Amino acid sequence: MTVTEAATRARVAAAALAQATRAAKDAALYAMADALLAGTTGVLAANSADLDAARTAGTAPALLDRLALSTPRIEAMATGLRQTAGLSDPVGEVVRGSTLAGGLQLRQVRVPFGVVGIVYEARPNVTADAAGLCLKAGSAVLLRGSSSAARSNTAIVDLLRAAVAGTGLPADAIQLVDSSSHDSVTALMRARGLVDVLIPRGGAELIRTVVTGSTVPVIETGVGNCHVYVDAAADLPMALAILLNAKTSRPSVCNAAESLLVHAAVAAEFLALALPALHQAGVTVHGDAAVAAAGTAAGVPVQPASEADYGTEYLSLDLSAAVVPSLAAAVAHIRRYGTGHSEAIVTGSLAAAQTFVSTVDAAAVLVNASTRFVDGGEFGFGAEIGISTQKLHARGPLGLPELTTTRYVLTGTGHVR
Amino acid sequence: MTVTEAATRARVAAAALAQATRAAKDAALYAMADALLAGTTGVLAANSADLDAARTAGTAPALLDRLALSTPRIEAMATGLRQTAGLSDPVGEVVRGSTLAGGLQLRQVRVPFGVVGIVYEARPNVTADAAGLCLKAGSAVLLRGSSSAARSNTAIVDLLRAAVAGTGLPADAIQLVDSSSHDSVTALMRARGLVDVLIPRGGAELIRTVVTGSTVPVIETGVGNCHVYVDAAADLPMALAILLNAKTSRPSVCNAAESLLVHAAVAAEFLALALPALHQAGVTVHGDAAVAAAGTAAGVPVQPASEADYGTEYLSLDLSAAVVPSLAAAVAHIRRYGTGHSEAIVTGSLAAAQTFVSTVDAAAVLVNASTRFVDGGEFGFGAEIGISTQKLHARGPLGLPELTTTRYVLTGTGHVR
């Protein structure tokens, strides 16, 4: 089936899904969870075939790990679907309402997008998560996963579709798009009028391709070159704890810190603490001359940082680092190299915090807290489909409301202007 | 100056503007209004030169009227700027806030976009309106007007920039972009990273070009192929009043009705009323066979409607018309030909109203009211920069809040995950 055919079926399904009650959607989500658990053996067999093929192709161990499913991972997918069922339904929420001058009743109501396209990379658990969130938000979804996960994704989607159909909602609310070539991504990007929004989830290159090439409106997610700035007025042990947490608690995710900026006034003292601790935690520091000198003083190796280092989202135990002469220089550095994701300041100065918060242009700005908190779960959204780094529509974690649009409804008694 | 140079200056201005207080922005808006009034003679002279050139070029009278300024029109621009000063400042509004599980304080705060590009056609009053709204929303604006209005726009922008600078805000918050060729539109569409959002205002062709060609995020505005559906349960005199108002009160605007759908059960009776009334109001009806037959019965001419008629936004005293066998057929017709702008049903049936509201996919759906109410001023937004027909970011009239984005601010005391 071509992307156009799938999108056309999705539009039909979306019209039905838009009318579905919360009870009907939640029943489908519970059935999807049950189906995944009941079908675990088949999904693991498909995943095993994907893994074999990937190993034969010489795939790197980190990617193999992201591709791999296990009984606990499938259980986590089922739990995620049940949690989505537990979230309140965004569709039908009245965002605002008023009575206009002449008595017309105005209501702005949340309604589904219609058809959502999601282009993502290795992790097969995204398949279930994205399908569940889109279904709850009342939209049909076209899933374009990684070709390396094609067998796993097919097994998962077959189970989910049958479960949805079993509860009376249209199976075409969830469709997997061919991943054997880039053509399907191109087709999704050109399906203006059939696909209402396209969400890329993955590496910088995938996101760049979709964002610059799509005529379908895009929600840009993910690339996080996140900074921790240690201000002159920072509590240094607090700064160290935040830095270590932001860098090492889960280095492969977009809200992990990738770069350290230290105010010159506390650089020697802070780096004397931080460089050994980072070294012990397995972090490779790529620093400027001042950081290198502090490394020498502390007897800890520091790699020289190139221009490219400051612009890199490592997603690994690497950290670029620089000493800056002022808060303004830190903000300027972040403006130059940041990706508008999550930026943290550690400071005891209210004025420094206020300046940082009001001048750093990012989806999230943190004061005395780890960048790792920028997450739909942590924000209390219950689930997220990604973290938007764009300014249009939604910025930051994308929860269920961000997966909808709105419609104005005006009710009168024969009103004319 | 190239678009890139202008955009780079705009980014610098935007950083200052983002920190400006409401008082500073309002002072600038009042100064802009005063400057327009004081400079009326110069603006009218420039406009006169534009009009002469347009007449020499054989421009159509309707376009000349849109291009023409007058003392009352300039006074209206000044009044608009003062009204914008009176609107509350969207920047800094806390959209939501909560305390997270571990005590982190979460706030979602409205912040300016940064740099907004606006591409628009003939009317020079858009220059002042858009500049005022963007300034109040804290963003710098790049204005790309029509080449036919270049002298008028230059005169207006020169006055506005001087006024802004006189109050201490950066003049580069308002810049006019070269309109002598299409190159500047192309440059704006490719200024990703420099321009945060691009808003086309004008005809269908301009909007299509920008929407499909831009790598800068776009807010699509304006094309309105709006329908009035007269249901079987309609109050027919009410339906006629709404139809006449929607079609004839201002035919050149996007919220004017372009198409009439009548349920077969009331078609003969309604058309016997409506066709003579439309004829008397100067409306040319393009109808299907059933409408043509009613025209013959009523002794009123009806043009045969082609497929193209049903897809046309006339913006004139023309109206396509069809008789439909059911509410579902009306919804299907609107799904096929509508542009997702504003769609009205006239009915006394609650069930019909509910079905229409929940199944018609448009920015605004009206029950027993004229489509002409879909307007920022009518909605109480005070001013609008256009009416969005897209689903991302904002749908319907774009007020000041829709001209901003948000940022999450998290404040902790050393919080780590």
For residues B360 and B401, state if they share a domain. no
Is the model's pLDDT at A222 over the cut of 80? no
User: Pick from A83, A16, A89: which is nearest to A404 by CA?
Assistant: A89
For residues B322 and B240, state if they share a domain. yes
Residue A221 pLDDT level (bands cut at 50, 70, 90)? confident
Q: Is A392 touching B (CB cutoff 8 A)?
A: yes
Taking only residues 52 to 91 of chain A, the set having a beta carbon closer than 8 angstroms to any beta carbon of chain B reads: none
Query: Could you report the per-residue pLDDT of B248-281, keeping only the tens digit for each?
Result: 999 988 999 999 999 999 999 999 999 999 999 9
Q: Is A408 touching B (CB cutoff 8 A)?
A: yes
Looking at chain B, which residue has its C-alpha nearest residue A209? B215
Q: Is A411 touching B (CB cutoff 8 A)?
A: yes
Q: Is A241 touching B (CB cutoff 8 A)?
A: yes
Percent of chain B with pLDDT over 70: 100
Q: Is B341 touching A (CB cutoff 8 A)?
A: no
For residues A404 and A262, state if they share a domain. no
Q: Say if CB B417 and CB A245 are below 8 A apart.
A: yes
Angstroms from B383 CA to nearest CA on chain A = 15
Whether residues A369 and B98 touch (CB distance < 8 A) is answered with no
Query: Could you report the per-residue pLDDT of B111-170, keeping only the tens digit for each?
Result: 999 999 999 987 899 999 999 999 999 999 999 999 999 999 999 999 999 999 999 999
For residues A83 and A198, state if they share a domain. yes
For residues B155 and B122, state if they share a domain. yes
Listed in sequence order, the residues at least 6 apart from A408 whose beta carbon sits closer than 8 Å to its beta carbon are: A106, A107, A108, A109, B363, B364, B365, B374, B379, B395, B396
Residue where the block lists tokens 């912040």: B111
The amino acid at B185: V
Angstroms from B290 CA to nearest CA on chain A = 26
Q: Is B354 touching A (CB cutoff 8 A)?
A: no
Is the model's pLDDT at A88 over the cut of 80? yes
Q: How far is CA A95 from the centre of its chain?
A: 24
pTM: 0.93
Q: Is residue B183 part of a domain?
A: yes
Is the model's pLDDT at A383 over the cut of 90? no
CB-CB neighbors (< 8 A) of A380 in chain B: 98, 100-101, 106
For residues B40 and B73, state if they share a domain. yes
Residue B223 pLDDT level (bands cut at 50, 70, 90)? confident
Q: Three-state SS for A404? A: strand
CA dist A344 and A246 (Å) reads 10
Looking at chain A, which residue has its C-alpha nearest residue B100? A379
For residues A86 and A198, state if they share a domain. yes
* Mean pLDDT, residues A206-225: 90
Q: Is residue B378 part of a domain?
A: no
Look up the CATH number of the domain holding residue B293.
3.40.309.10
Q: Is A277 touching B (CB cutoff 8 A)?
A: no
CA separation (Å) from B175 to A379, A400, B141, B189, B372? 39, 38, 6, 16, 32
Q: Averaging pLDDT over each range in A240-249, A373-382, B209-218, which range is the top one?
A: A240-249
Per-residue burial over B139-165, b if 16 or more Cβ lie within 10 Å, else e, is: bbbbbbbbebbbbbbbbbbbbbbebbb
Q: Say which range, A129-133, A405-409, B208-212, has the weakest mean pLDDT.
A: B208-212
Comparing CB atoms, the residue among A100, A379, A391 nearest residue B106 is A379
* Mean pLDDT, residues A297-326: 97
For residues B233 and B208, state if they share a domain. no
For residues B9 and B138, state if they share a domain. yes
Q: Is residue A197 part of a domain?
A: yes
Q: Is residue A10 part of a domain?
A: yes
Instruction: Name the residue range of residue B288's domain.
Output: 226-373
A contact test, residue of B337, B342, B391 with most A CBs within 10 A: B391
Look up the CATH number of the domain holding residue A396.
3.40.605.10
Residue A279 pLDDT level (bands cut at 50, 70, 90)? very high
For residues A188 and A270, state if they share a domain. no
Whether residues B416 and A353 touch (CB distance < 8 A) is answered with no
Query: Could you report the per-residue pLDDT of B308-360, keeping only the tens digit for each?
Result: 999 999 999 999 999 999 999 999 999 999 999 999 999 999 999 999 999 99
Tell me what pLDDT residue A352 has: 98
For residues A300 and A389, state if they share a domain. no
CB-CB neighbors (< 8 A) of A18 in chain B: 358-359
Looking at chain A, which residue has its C-alpha nearest residue B189? A212
Q: Is residue B233 part of a domain?
A: yes
Q: Kindly provide the ipTM of the predicted complex, given to two decimals.
A: 0.94
Whether residues A396 and B361 touch (CB distance < 8 A) is answered with no
For residues B111 and B206, state if they share a domain. yes
Domain count, chain B: 2
Q: Is residue B416 part of a domain?
A: no
Whether residues B391 and A217 touch (CB distance < 8 A) is answered with yes
Comparing CB atoms, the residue among A113, A378, A410 nearest residue B100 is A378
Q: Is B96 touching A (CB cutoff 8 A)?
A: no
Q: Is residue B380 part of a domain?
A: no
Looking at chain A, which residue has its C-alpha nearest residue B339? A193
Q: Is residue A378 part of a domain?
A: no
Q: Is B178 touching A (CB cutoff 8 A)?
A: no
